[in-house]
Amino acid sequence: MDGSRRVVAITEVQGLEGDVIVMQDVFRFVQTGVKNGKVEGYFTATGVRPKFIDKIEAAGLVVPASTFAPSQKKPRGW
């Protein structure tokens, strides 16, 4: 809306169903308004736990389940 470019979703490619690529949003940008001509908002999880998380955890990295819990509020520091 303000002409700037931004990431609006972080999406996992889950695979193929025939010739169709199946994708699932993991995080999405929620627009909260426009201030001084600039779009304001924040990222929130969609509630989907991505399939690749098992590989990350197998590598020894810990990702809390709360990372993928949707929020209704703007997270601190964003």
pLDDT tens-place string over residues 15-39: 999 999 999 999 999 999 999 999 9
Q: Is residue 68 part of a domain?
A: no
Q: In sequence order, what are the residues at sequence separation of 6 or more whose Cβ sits closer than 8 angstroms to the Cβ of residue 63?
A: 53, 56, 57
pLDDT exceeds cutoff 80 at 76:
no
Q: Is residue 54 part of a domain?
A: yes
pLDDT exceeds cutoff 90 at 10:
yes
For residue 68, CA distances in Å to 6, 15, 25, 63, 74 come to 21, 20, 11, 9, 15
- Read off the pTM: 0.76
Q: Is residue 48 part of a domain?
A: yes
Percent of the chain with pLDDT over 70: 90
Q: Is residue 53 part of a domain?
A: yes
| Residue-number span of the structural domain to which 51 is assigned | 9-62
pLDDT at 67: 92
Q: Is residue 67 part of a domain?
A: no
The count of structural domains within the chain is 1
Q: Is residue 39 part of a domain?
A: yes
Q: Is residue 1 part of a domain?
A: no
